[in-house]
Amino acid sequence: MDFKAIVSSLSPDAYQSLLDAIATGRWADGVALTEAQKDQTHQLVMAYQAYVLKSDEPYTIGPDGQMVVKSKAQMKKELSPDSIARFTHDDI
């Protein structure tokens, strides 16, 4: 099985567990991640975000492994006026 197939087969729960492990530096059972595990977990999370989530965030990792940086013009184009919540002072 190749790396892309492994990443694509990860469940959303497994992805969330990996994400939590990176954020806390520990597995769910409390055991600290080794440096090798941290590196591998980061790679898996970034690959999952690139291949599966296909995030629309301005800074992501694309399927080719390169960082994707959206320009201000691209982000403005993607945001329609209806997608932005607008409030007046009296609404708050």
The answer to whether 13 and 25 have CB atoms below 8 angstroms apart is no
What is the per-residue pLDDT across 1-10, written as a single tens digit (0 to 9) for each?
A: 687 888 888 8
What is the per-residue pLDDT across 36-87, written as a single tens digit (0 to 9) for each?
A: 999 999 888 888 887 887 766 666 666 666 666 767 677 677 666 666 666 7
pLDDT of 34: 95
The answer to whether 78 and 56 have CB atoms below 8 angstroms apart is yes
Domain ranges, ordered by start, for the chain: 3-91
pLDDT of 4: 83
pLDDT of 56: 61
Give the DSSP letter of residue 64: T
